[in-house]
A and B are shown apart, each in its own frame.
Chain A
């Protein structure tokens, strides 16, 4: 297994430099995966067309990642290695990911740091000039590289710079403010896409030799999440409806450290980076219903529940475990703040130990953000935090080459399901996006193109018009609906169902009722939604309407997947399956698999396929961070 990637690279079929420019590649999305892929393929000489719905490639949601990116550099001399990063990631994912993919990810992690440094990413440095590291959850080594609390932004701007360089070199043509609305298949292969130009409303047909979806995750199915408000599942969902299997849709990550919800009009939740748990201590009052302000609660009457329950990893346990523990304390009445739905993240001792200046250097921008949003100053009073939807491990099923079940349709980054199993460790999303974009797809795409005879495809062919008619019909149906509820109201309703019944804790009865409620809400959407304006203009209401329509189908699939998976693993916690201590209890004999769903024409009857997982290098044990 350790040699699999090296072997593949040595034996992959190649496209000669002179032939590369004959292939047109459509890359959708410009986050770390898409930006890196489009730039790298441009550097290789392919004709790349790159699409994003933002007004600039630099704004993709990768930009918001705060804390860092893992790499098995072992610069700290603290025992790190490719194997250890691989092992931590497989264990962190609760043994529900594919070993070979994860090993490749760990192997490539070291190249990513080198590449980003070469691009001028201003990573944090030690006084001697060498790269600095911090620790993240689920690891006992310091392997996380960072640029203040803006690591995602800096990595994305590195990829964006490389992408802009290729635009200048005319190997890449950018199509900003374009949203993918369908995939075009010719002879069973992905050969094109249908996009809406978000400024003019024109429905465009684009033909190519392969399609790369790098369109991120679907946490906004919960309405309130840490994701940007334009994040959506439309690209992967429309591909799913064209035949791509959707794997592990119920594997969602609820991040433990987010600013709690403030009211009913809120549009999103804000993450406070996991890096804060390097120095911040999580606690609640030891007794329930203690309403004293935090400063008046003496040390002996506080419960540092993560340190108590998980002494080996303490505050740096993985996200799924930290989130459940916080929920558990709040369910027991020990939560703090309005509605008692939050816990403290306290820096008082860190400020004494390290000094105000050092704490400010490490976390200044996060503290300022917290202060601006809540009006509380975390230098003087503990932050209040609560878990929130943050990342989706599920996504389109891909093979080792990142190819979906539709030949020629590749899926990169968060949009695929491949590397994180049932729970993603912190600082691993950036790693995966860039590994897929810079170092995996340039090889696997070449192998695909060189292995298939490609007939030329014309965007005036019948398949393109069929797909375009499909899109146009959908838009007309939305606009013709003369209902009374707004898209946002229905999205909010969906979010409540998802959060309450397909969220941090799930059970059979709740999931069954969620499936019914989502189906009813979907009917209500199509009979009673009101979408303003026309299709021939910039119309954000229409954009959102299309995305929410897709969420109303995906949400149901998530609930079905969660219902079918009768075990607890990682972020998927079925209350029926827990140990006496309240930890997740896997059912390895029944569910050591990825569940990949096939669209059959309506949301009620998806067909289940299973990819059995085998573990050769690690033995799946009870995941312990004690």
Chain B
């Protein structure tokens, strides 16, 4: 049972070029394939016609690397909750559907080409403090610091972030708060992170602002699209951490 799918895809030759939505029709789409496999098929078709294939990023195709990210019918990563673009299957669509595909849009994520954006700002936020400073070779025994199961689980919930940027794409303010707060929460919960706790939150929030991401105004759109279902409670924790650090450090 193959389907006909109409696509409207954002095409933009380079960062500063004018972009536009271009329509394509796919005639033989199997419901078993993934959304990105449908785009692979489209690209093979375009290459054979001597046209420029659609540039999009993807790598693991199982929802863990955070490379892929498309806005599908206005929703970052598409209609399925807790799911990355690459996990989305065509069986969730029906023949005759028209699907609009756009890149993650944010001032902090400039477009490189078509659906490919530059998310290096996330790396710079992590560089500003998203780690525990522990040189190789200096660690005590792994069981030297017991960490309660509940704390470990909560830290893991935050650590599950894949850095895809859907939170930014979904936010009306293009805020990177969910991404930044996930790392801050993980390391604030764990005892290993305590030595640098205050500097970490101050520096990471400052870097987030410097990258032209907007402020958080509690829309919670980020949580709704997050493929790892990271809770906006991490943002609340980031604010508490920030307040405590700002009050004691300055």
Q: Mark A residues whose CB is within 8 Å of B.
A: 36, 39-40, 43, 54-59, 61, 63-64, 73, 75, 111, 113-120, 122-131, 145, 147-148, 150, 152-154, 157, 160-162, 164-165, 167-168, 174, 176, 199, 228-230, 262-263, 265-268, 270-271, 368-369, 372-373, 375, 438-439, 442, 484, 486, 488-489, 530, 532-533, 537-538, 540-541
List 26 A-B residue pairs with CB atoms under 8 Å apart, sorted by A's residue number. A39-B136, A43-B136, A54-B65, A58-B123, A59-B163, A63-B64, A63-B162, A115-B139, A120-B190, A122-B152, A122-B156, A122-B159, A123-B152, A124-B152, A125-B149, A128-B146, A129-B147, A154-B156, A161-B132, A168-B127, A271-B62, A369-B62, A369-B63, A438-B136, A486-B44, A486-B48
Docked-complex contact A486 and B159, CB < 8 angstroms: no
Docked-complex contact B126 and A164, CB < 8 angstroms: yes
Query: Closest Cβ of chain A: how far from B58's Cβ, in Å?
Result: 6
* Residues from chain B with Cβ under 8 Å of A199 in the complex: 112
- Stretch of B33-41, B214-222, B238-246 with 4 or more beta carbons under 8 angstroms from chain A: B33-41
Docked-complex contact B37 and A265, CB < 8 angstroms: yes
If the complex has contacts A161-B126, A164-B130, A265-B30, are A64 and B156 also in contact, measured as CB distance less than 8 A?
no
Alpha-carbon distance between A120 and B133 when the two chains are bound, in angstroms: 10
Docked-complex contact B53 and A64, CB < 8 angstroms: no
Alpha-carbon distance between A418 and B134 when the two chains are bound, in angstroms: 28
The answer, among A130, A265, A271, for a CB contact under 8 Å with B40, is A265
B113-152 interface (Cβ within 8 A of A): 113, 116, 118-120, 122-123, 126-128, 130-143, 145-149, 152
Q: Mark B residues whose CB is within 8 Å of A.
A: 14, 30, 32-34, 36-37, 40-41, 43-44, 46-48, 50-53, 55, 57-67, 80, 82-83, 87, 89, 91, 112-113, 116, 118-120, 122-123, 126-128, 130-143, 145-149, 152, 155-156, 159-160, 162-163, 186-187, 190, 192-193
If the complex has contacts A150-B160, A265-B40, A538-B55, are A439 and B87 also in contact, measured as CB distance less than 8 A?
no
Query: Closest Cβ of chain A: how far from B195's Cβ, in Å?
Result: 11
Q: Nearest CB to that of B66 among chain A residues?
A: A59
Docked-complex contact A160 and B132, CB < 8 angstroms: no
If the complex has contacts A114-B139, A161-B132, A229-B59, are A538 and B30 also in contact, measured as CB distance less than 8 A?
no
Docked-complex contact A56 and B32, CB < 8 angstroms: no
* Residues from chain B with Cβ under 8 Å of A368 in the complex: 82
Docked-complex contact A43 and B135, CB < 8 angstroms: yes
Alpha-carbon distance between A118 and B135 when the two chains are bound, in angstroms: 9
* Residues from chain A with Cβ under 8 Å of B159 in the complex: 122, 147, 154, 157
The answer, among B47, B65, B149, for a CB contact under 8 Å with A63, is B65
If the complex has contacts A56-B120, A228-B65, A267-B37, are A118 and B83 also in contact, measured as CB distance less than 8 A?
no
Q: Nearest CB to that of A53 among chain B residues?
A: B59
Alpha-carbon distance between A538 and B103 when the two chains are bound, in angstroms: 16
* Residues from chain B with Cβ under 8 Å of A538 in the complex: 55, 112-113, 116
Docked-complex contact A153 and B162, CB < 8 angstroms: yes
If the complex has contacts A73-B142, A373-B87, are A55 and B67 also in contact, measured as CB distance less than 8 A?
yes
* Residues from chain A with Cβ under 8 Å of B135 in the complex: 40, 43
Query: Closest Cβ of chain B: how far from A56's Cβ, in Å?
Result: 5
If the complex has contacts A117-B139, A373-B87, are A168 and B128 also in contact, measured as CB distance less than 8 A?
yes
Q: Nearest CB to that of B57 among chain A residues?
A: A55
The answer, among B41, B65, B192, for a CB contact under 8 Å with A59, is B65
The answer, among B51, B118, B149, for a CB contact under 8 Å with A129, is B149
Alpha-carbon distance between A488 and B147 when the two chains are bound, in angstroms: 48
Docked-complex contact B122 and A56, CB < 8 angstroms: yes
Q: Nearest CB to that of A129 among chain B residues?
A: B146
* Residues from chain A with Cβ under 8 Å of B44 in the complex: 486, 488-489
* Residues from chain B with Cβ under 8 Å of A116 in the complex: 142
The answer, among A167, A266, A439, for a CB contact under 8 Å with B137, is A439
Alpha-carbon distance between A580 and B46 when the two chains are bound, in angstroms: 53
Alpha-carbon distance between A434 and B33 when the two chains are bound, in angstroms: 35
Identify the interface centre among A61, A117, A168, A268: most chain B CB within 10 Å of its CB: A117
Docked-complex contact A127 and B149, CB < 8 angstroms: yes
Query: Closest Cβ of chain B: how far from A624's Cβ, in Å?
Result: 33
Query: Closest Cβ of chain A: how far from B190's Cβ, in Å?
Result: 5
Nearest 10 interchain pairs by C-beta? A129-B146, A161-B131, A118-B139, A114-B139, A118-B134, A122-B156, A125-B152, A117-B142, A228-B59, A122-B155
Docked-complex contact B87 and A130, CB < 8 angstroms: no
* Residues from chain A with Cβ under 8 Å of B163 in the complex: 56, 58-59
* Residues from chain A with Cβ under 8 Å of B127 in the complex: 164-165, 167-168
